[in-house]
């Protein structure tokens, strides 16, 4: 695959990409970590050997500090011996535009003509609201407002341990436009069967076509979400604004101007 | 009082007067009600611990029995003492027997009431003696060991495993921490019971339980002796179990507890009637136990803009102060909260933050103001985050804040790793030492940017307090005055746990608390 847009630095070899310090190909990286060992020459040597095993050549310990109670801290530099072929790397991404809080609200209200109704829940036995709250709550996440704060969205957060049946009931009762399903803690991939069951339920109810559906959580990837029948999947570090921007993009895609 | 900002004392006085009017409505409202959590706190104070085989705390089993019988408004103490008198059992055994269905919780016949009342009072007094002993121990330890320079450096541990937490806490103490806060497991504030026992699994934090309190207290006492400095323990008296958490904090010698109904209303959607009622009782317990409370105004700035909404923080602090004083807290126990949350790229941001921080210090000179680090504009860029935290550290020592919550470069990423905390402590200590006497050496330009900003915030706070006073706090909350979040008096979680007090409501623990803090009964 040819990716000319990635070859910006003169001389860069897209098939052999290494970290860059001050010379192309030098592979320089910095790592810092603690060891459950008191600071001593043996612990420092252990830190160095760990760096070697991480694939760092000529690792140097530049800083060693005893943290007390048997812990010590290290800062190391080394040269990464590995390289990546970026021409073979393709990351599926959620198709959403870059837009500010104000832009998203303004455009959504304009294209939809009303605030969209959003229902969010952490489904199944999962009791962790942390993901759905980070996206929905006023307080938001990573310095960004949650969706409750968006004038263009009317949000209902059902919290955790919501059955798929109850979620469906709420979606119907509120005539929701958008459904956000969170899955945080999971065992033996129960989150996947749970998400698949939700999609089946929605399709059986004949609602799939008019609902925008996304799932999110630490183990969710966009690709997996698409396979399961969602419109988007959001992984760790997703901010509310990214979800809002996706809602806008997806809405615009489905409702092109006449 | 230092007056570097040239504030008008009559404006500050007027703010206090307005806040006092607001507070009177709130504490009057609370005094006319009780809640399931207040009654459970009462039982805990009277010596009931433990849970049934399903893990439901005995205090929940007993109080739920009363609530379902429609008897919550009478208070739990007298019926519970009645059950003890009838059965001859200890408080613990009686609670167990009630939970097992072997003993009923009927209201005792009139002839037995004096005996029950006297027994209930004895139990309340026994609780008071336990709490007074913790107060004595704390004073003794601070006398013997000292507590180190101010502001007190406050660090969070949150591994989910209480034993891991104690280890991390000790590393923090070695690095200079003076307050250790154990963050609770996500959404514990929404649990209407307190889990039991030592816990080793939590999400985003560690469950607050009586046993976990005890384990951490013991670890910190050891570390205090090793490092020659009394280390305070902090946890949360917030959420649906607010008064019970205060009771456990009082019994297990916690020193600092986050305690703010407004936070729960706004950010956890807890019903305002429930949590304002809970809060009044909870603050009485803290007052009696010498616990410093921390209020949560800092959080307003995580949703509202810090420059635009600075006055809402100050107004809320005035209200929290007046409510606190009416619950018997001394100014020295009021860790009113604020935060450095402005956009770091805003021009003169440091000046505005200095103005706000200095303003809070000057308005509440006797209170150990809790200063929260940047979170809103923290990103995954840990290097930039460390610089933002350094600015925060400078403002904190410069303006003489009381309790300094350490910013972590890994904020918004994960619960801190062991070295994240040590690096944060090192930076804070370096800057504290480097700027130790800056405040004494620097004066602000008369009528300059900082003074004008501080006066503007104070004036706007006064206007807001007048607006809240005219509407009442409940209506103001419904209109979204704070943090731009509207909440209704009937909405949110926990309203079903509130009852109006019947004319013959009795609570001997409350009577003891009032005595311990020199409060009159009808405040």
Q: Are residues A43 and A143 in the same domain?
A: no
Domain termination site, one of A86, A114, A133: A86
Strand partners of residue A28? A79
Which of these three, A55, A86, A117, is where a domain ends? A86
* Residue B283, pLDDT score: 97
Task: Please identify among residues 191-230 of chain A the ones whose CB lies closer than 8 Å to any CB of chain B.
Answer: none
Same domain for A119 and A81, yes or no, is no
State the average pLDDT over residues A223-240. 90
* Angular region, B506: left φ>0, alpha ψ -120 to 50, beta rest: beta
Whether B273 and B498 have beta carbons less than 8 Å apart is answered as: yes
**B482 at interface of A, judged by CB pairs closer than 8 A:** no
- The closest of B251, B268, B273, B267 to B301, measured between CA atoms, is B267
**CA B151/CA B367 separation, integer angstroms:** 12
What is d(CA A79, CA A21) in angstroms, rounded to the nearest whole number? 9
**Residue of A129, A149, A131 lying closest to A139 (CA atoms):** A149
Give the contacts of B434 (CB within 8 A, at least 6 positions apart).
none
Q: Does A137 reside within a domain?
A: yes
Cα dihedral B241, B242, B247, B250 in deg (nearest 10): 140
CA dihedral A164, A168, A170, A174 (to 10 degrees): 150
**Residue A134 shares a structural domain with residue A240:** yes
Q: Which CA distances in Å does B404 have to B301, B357, B363, B429?
A: 17, 12, 18, 11
Lookup: tokens for A24? 């192309």
For residue A246, the domain's CATH number is 3.40.50.280
CATH of the domain at A77: 3.30.30.60
Do A139 and A169 belong to one domain?
A: yes
Q: Which candidate from B375, B378, B418 shows the least CB-CB separation from A67?
A: B418
The C-alpha of A190 sits at a distance from chain B's nearest C-alpha, in angstroms, of 19
Secondary structure string (H, E, C) spanning chain A: CCCHHHCCCCCCCCCCECCCCCCCCCCEEEEEEEECCCCCHHHHHHHHHHHHHCCEEEEEEEEEEEEECCEEEEEEEEEECCCECHHHCCCCCCCCCCCCHHHHHHHHHHHHCCCEEEEEEEECCCCCCHHHHHHHCCCCECCECCHHHCCCEEEEECCCCECHHHHHHHHHHHCCCEEEEECCCCCCCHHHHHHHHHHHHHHHCCCHHHCEEEEECCCCCHHHHHHHCCCEEECCCCCHHHHHHHHHHHHHHHCCCC
Set out the domains of chain B in order of their start, with CATH numbers: 33-125 (no CATH), 149-453 (3.20.20.440)
Q: Which residues pair with B372 in a beta bridge?
A: B339
Instruction: Determine whether the interchain pair A129/B186 forms a contact, defined as Cβ–Cβ distance below 8 Å.
Output: yes
Whether B135 and B333 have beta carbons less than 8 Å apart is answered as no
How many other CB atoms are found less than 10 A from the CB of residue B310?
29
Active-site residue, from B165, B260, B298, B420: B298
The angle subtended at Cα A144 by Cα A139 and Cα A147, nearest 5°, is: 65
Residue B243 token pair: 């008064």
pLDDT of res. A129: 66
Phi, psi (5° rounding) for residue B221?
Answer: -65, -40
A107 and A150 in contact (C-beta within 8 Å)? no
The model's pLDDT over B432-461, given as tens digits with 9 standing for 90+, comes to 999 999 999 999 999 999 999 999 999 999
Whole-structure pTM value? 0.85
Task: Decide if A101 touches B, using CB distance below 8 A.
Answer: no
pLDDT number for residue B521: 43
Q: Which two tokens stand for residue B217?
A: 């207290």
Least confident of B161-175, B345-359, B442-456, B484-498: B484-498
Let me know whether A219 and A111 are in one domain. Answer: yes
Determine which one of B193, B263, B371, B377 is catalytic: B263
Q: Residue A188 — very low, low, confident or very high, per pLDDT cuts 50/70/90?
A: low
Does residue B318 register a pLDDT over 70?
A: yes
How many percent of chain B have pLDDT more than 70? 98
In a domain, A234, yes or no: yes
Q: Is A138–B419 a contact, with Cβ atoms under 8 angstroms apart?
A: no
Which ranges of B228-348 does DSSP label H, i.e. alpha helix? 242-251, 261-267, 272-289, 300-303, 310-326
Residue A42 is part of which domain span? 4-86
**Angle (CA) B16 B20 B25, round 5°:** 155
pLDDT recorded at residue B303: 63
Structure tokens at B43: 């039982």
Q: Return the half-sphere exposure (C-beta side, CA atoms, 13 A cut-off) of residue A253.
A: 13
Interface test with B, best of A35, A65, A71, A126 (most B CBs within 10 A): A71
Q: Do A133 and A223 have their domain in common?
A: yes
Tokens of B396: 């904190």
For residue B258, what is the DSSP state?
E
Q: Are residues A126 and A208 in the same domain?
A: yes
B231 sits in which H/E element? none
Structural domain contains residue A96: no
- The residue out of A63, A86, A109 marking a domain boundary is A86
Give per-residue pLDDT as tens, B74-127.
999 999 999 999 999 999 999 999 999 999 998 889 999 999 999 999 999 999
For the cut 60, the answer to whether the pLDDT of residue A249 exceeds it is yes
Taking every pair of Cα atoms in chain B, the longest distance, rounded to a whole number of angstroms, is 74
Average pLDDT over residues A89-95: 77
Counting one residue from chain A and one from chain B, the pairs whose CB atoms sit within 8 A come to 65
Checking if the pLDDT of B522 tops 50, the result is no
How many C-beta atoms surround the C-beta of residue B390 within 10 A? 15
Q: In this structure, is residue A143 part of a structural domain?
A: yes
Q: Coil, strand or helix: which one is B270? A: strand
Q: Is the separation of the CB atoms in B290 and B257 below 8 Å?
A: no
A74 part of a folded domain: yes
> CA angle, A156 as apex, A153 and A161 as ends, to 5°?
145
* B377 neighbourhood in chain A, CB within 8 Å: 143
Q: Residue B377's pLDDT is what?
A: 83
Task: Return the closest-CA partner of residue A250 out of A91, A96, A93, A92.
Answer: A96
Q: Domain total for chain A?
A: 2
CA dihedral B286, B287, B292, B297 (to 10 degrees): 80
pLDDT, chain B, mean = 94
Residues A161 and A80 both lie in one domain: no
How much is the pLDDT for A163?
A: 87
**Helix, strand, coil shares, percent, chain B, to 5:** 55, 10, 35
Q: Are residues A77 and A172 in the same domain?
A: no
Same domain, A235 and A177: yes
- Stretch B273-292: mean pLDDT, rounded? 97
Does A78 reside within a domain?
yes
- Which pLDDT belongs to residue B299? 80
- The DSSP bridge pattern shows strands B498-500 and B33-35 to be antiparallel
Mean pLDDT of chain A: 90
User: In which band, very low, low, confident or very high, does the pLDDT at B481 lie, cut at 50, 70 and 90?
Assistant: confident
Nearest one of B353, B243, B323 to B289, comparing CA atoms: B243
Range picked from A82-91, A93-102, B61-70, B182-191 for highest mean pLDDT: B61-70
The pair of structure tokens assigned to A170 is 């709420």
Report yes or no on A93 lying in a domain: no
End-to-end Cα separation, chain A, in angstroms: 37
Write the pLDDT tens digit of every residue in B375-384.
Answer: 878 877 899 9
Q: What is the dihedral of CA B393, B397, B402, B405, to 10 degrees?
A: 10
Mean pLDDT of A57-66: 97
Is residue B263 flagged as an active site residue? yes
A108 and A236 together in one domain: yes
Q: Which of B180, B185, B195, B203 to mutate to test the interface with A (most CBs of A within 10 A)?
A: B203
Residue A91 lies in a domain: no
Per-residue pLDDT tens over the stretch B18-28: 999 999 999 99
More confidently predicted of A139 and B419: B419
* DSSP symbol at B51: B
The alpha carbon of B508 is separated from its chain's Cα centroid by a whole number of angstroms, namely: 23
Q: Point out the catalytic residue in the list A114, A139, A254, A255.
A: A139
Q: What is the pLDDT of residue B213?
A: 98
Q: Do residues A24 and A107 share a domain?
A: no
Query: Which residues fall within 8 angstroms of residue B133, CB to CB, at 6 or more apart?
Result: none
Asked whether residue B71 carries a pLDDT value surpassing 50, the answer given is: yes
| Spatial contact of A158 and A167, defined as CB atoms under 8 Å apart | yes
């Amino acid at each position: 695959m040819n990716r000319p847009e990635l070859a910006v630095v003169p001389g860069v070899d897209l098939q052999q990409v290494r970290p860059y310090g001050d010379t192309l190909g030098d592979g320089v990286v910095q790592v810092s970590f603690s060891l459950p060992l008191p600071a001593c020459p043996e612990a420092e040597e252990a830190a160095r050997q760990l760096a070697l095993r991480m694939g760092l050549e000529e690792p140097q310990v530049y800083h060693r500090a005893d943290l007390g109670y048997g812990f010590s801290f290290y800062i190391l530099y080394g040269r990464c011996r590995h390289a990546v072929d970026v021409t073979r790397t393709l990351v599926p991404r959620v198709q959403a535009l870059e837009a500010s809080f104000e832009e998203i609200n303004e455009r959504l209200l304009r294209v939809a003509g009303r605030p969209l109704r959003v229902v969010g829940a952490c489904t199944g036995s999962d009791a962790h609201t942390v993901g759905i709250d980070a996206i929905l709550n006023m307080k938001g996440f990573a310095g960004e407002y949650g969706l409750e704060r968006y004038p263009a969205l009317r949000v209902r957060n059902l919290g955790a341990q919501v059955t798929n049946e109850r979620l469906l009931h709420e979606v119907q009762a509120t005539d929701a436009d958008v459904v956000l399903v969170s899955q945080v803690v999971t065992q033996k991939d129960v989150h996947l069967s749970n998400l698949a069951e939700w999609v089946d339920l929605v399709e059986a109810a004949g609602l799939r076509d008019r609902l925008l559906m996304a799932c999110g959580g630490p183990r969710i990837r966009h690709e997996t979400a698409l396979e399961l029948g969602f419109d988007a999947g959001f992984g760790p570090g997703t901010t509310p604004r990214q979800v809002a921007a996706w809602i806008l993009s997806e809405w615009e895609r489905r409702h092109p101007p006449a | 009082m230092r007056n570097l900002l040239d504030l008008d004392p009559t404006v500050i006085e007027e703010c206090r007067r307005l806040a006092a009017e607001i507070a009177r409505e709130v504490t009057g409202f609370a005094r006319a009600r009780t809640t399931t959590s207040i009654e459970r706190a009462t039982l805990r104070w009277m010596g009931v611990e433990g849970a049934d085989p399903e893990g439901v705390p005995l205090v929940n089993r007993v109080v739920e029995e009363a609530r379902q019988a429609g008897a919550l408004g009478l208070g739990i103490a007298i019926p519970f003492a009645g059950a003890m008198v009838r059965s001859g059992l200890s408080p613990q055994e009686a609670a167990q027997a009630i939970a097992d269905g072997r003993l009923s919780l009927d209201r005792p016949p009139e002839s037995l009431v004096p005996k029950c009342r006297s027994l209930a009072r004895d139990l309340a007094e026994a609780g008071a003696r336990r709490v007074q002993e913790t107060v004595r121990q704390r004073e003794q330890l601070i006398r013997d060991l000292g507590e180190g320079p101010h502001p007190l450096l406050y660090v969070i541990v949150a591994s989910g495993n209480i034993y891991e937490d104690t280890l991390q806490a000790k590393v923090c103490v070695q690095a200079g921490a003076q307050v250790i806060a154990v963050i609770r497991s996500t959404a514990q504030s929404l649990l209407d019971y307190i889990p039991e026992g030592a816990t080793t699994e939590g999400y985003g934090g560690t469950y607050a339980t009586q046993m976990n309190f005890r384990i951490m207290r013991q670890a910190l006492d050891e570390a205090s002796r090793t490092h020659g400095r009394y280390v305070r323990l902090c946890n949360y008296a917030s959420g649906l179990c607010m008064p019970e958490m205060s009771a456990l904090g009082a019994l297990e010698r916690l020193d600092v507890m986050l305690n703010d109904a407004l936070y729960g209303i706004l950010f956890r959607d807890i019903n305002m009637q429930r949590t304002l009622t809970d809060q009044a009782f909870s603050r009485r317990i803290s007052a009696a136990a010498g616990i410093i409370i921390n209020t949560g105004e800092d959080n307003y700035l995580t949703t509202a803009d810090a420059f635009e909404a600075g006055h809402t923080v100050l107004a809320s602090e005035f209200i929290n102060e007046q409510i606190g004083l009416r619950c018997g807290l001394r100014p020295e126990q009021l860790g009113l909260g604020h935060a450095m949350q402005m956009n770091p790229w805003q021009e003169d941001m440091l000046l505005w933050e200095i103005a706000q921080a200095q303003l809070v210090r000057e308005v509440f000179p006797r209170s150990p103001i809790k200063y929260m680090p940047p979170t809103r504009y923290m990103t995954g860029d840990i290097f930039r985050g460390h610089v933002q935290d350094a600015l925060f550290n400078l403002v904190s020592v410069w303006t003489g804040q009381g309790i300094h919550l350490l910013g972590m470069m890994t904020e918004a990423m994960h619960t801190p790793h062991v070295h994240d905390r040590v690096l944060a402590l090192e930076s804070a200590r370096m800057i504290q030492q480097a700027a130790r006497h800056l405040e004494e050496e620097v004066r602000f330009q008369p009528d300059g940017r900082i003074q004008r900003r501080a006066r503007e915030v104070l004036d706007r706070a006064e206007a807001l307090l007048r607006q809240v006073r005219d509407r009442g706090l409940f209506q103001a909350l419904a209109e979204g005055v704070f943090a731009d979040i509207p909440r209704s008096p009937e909405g949110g979680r926990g309203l079903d746990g509130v009852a109006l007090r019947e004319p013959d409501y009795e609570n001997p623990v409350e009577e003891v608390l009032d005595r311990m803090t020199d409060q009159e009964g009808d405040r």
